[in-house]
Amino acid sequence: MKRILRALLGLAVIIAPLSAFAERLEVFRWQALDGKTEQLVSALTEAAKLHEKTGASVGIFQMDVGVPGNPTFDYVLRWDTSADWAKTKAYNYSDEWLNFFSEATKNPSGQLMMSLEGLNWDAEVTASSFADDGPFRVFIWRPTPGMMPDIYQTFMAAKDIHEKLGAKINIYNEGVGGTGNIHYVMSWDDWGSMAKSGDAIAASEEFMALQMSAAGQVTPVASIQGVPVYYSR
């Protein structure tokens, strides 16, 4: 019975953001073709201007660590309401969008590497909350089956520690396109703030103790670092 209750609590943690419809995002990762980085950024920016008309907040983020090969960018759509999400999805089948996409593919500038949906753990975060963010790091974790209640407590404790030490934290469950991983997103105002906060975190005995107590709860999958090049305002 205890295992059943823990499983049900873990499921509730996973689906709670969706039921409350917290900030929701879709990520499309593009890698520039040889010599076409500027063309890809231009195309992504043009796409952002179109998607903003549907109520989406759009971010374009360049990876500088964690992705091999040519320059790589995450094109991120965010929404606050199901109505805005649905409006954007419908727009993706409109003549205007299909014409834009058709023209862009005649002279392609990038290759789509992956796409997935993310659901924020915090129902108070809005799509506009990221407009002033600077450099960031994303740590992707695979949860150990049956341990979501413990994982939730650990990650929320880590969020509290990291925010006290100068980082901004957002945590996402993967939705459609994902495999059930957790994305722990750390962002700062600038590189100097990132460095100062990183040094403080590395020296934090409280965070070190939390890491030791959480052994076996999650497995690291990947990590990336980057900086925004565009965000809706």
pLDDT in tens, 69-91: 999 999 999 999 888 999 999 99
pLDDT for residue 21: 56
Mean pLDDT of 182-206: 98
Q: Which fold has domain 2-231?
A: Alpha-Beta Plaits (3.30.70)
Give the CA angle between residues 72, 202, 14 to the nearest 5°: 60
pLDDT for residue 87: 96
Indicate the average pLDDT of the chain: 91
- Domain ranges for the chain: 2-231
Q: What percent of the chain has pLDDT over 90?
A: 85
**CB 174, CB 116: distance < 8 Å:** yes
C-alpha atoms less than 13 angstroms from C-alpha of 130 in its C-beta half-sphere: 31
pLDDT tens per residue, range 143-158: 999 999 999 999 999 9
- Residue 68 pLDDT class (50, 70, 90 cuts): confident
Six token digits for residue 45: 């920016």
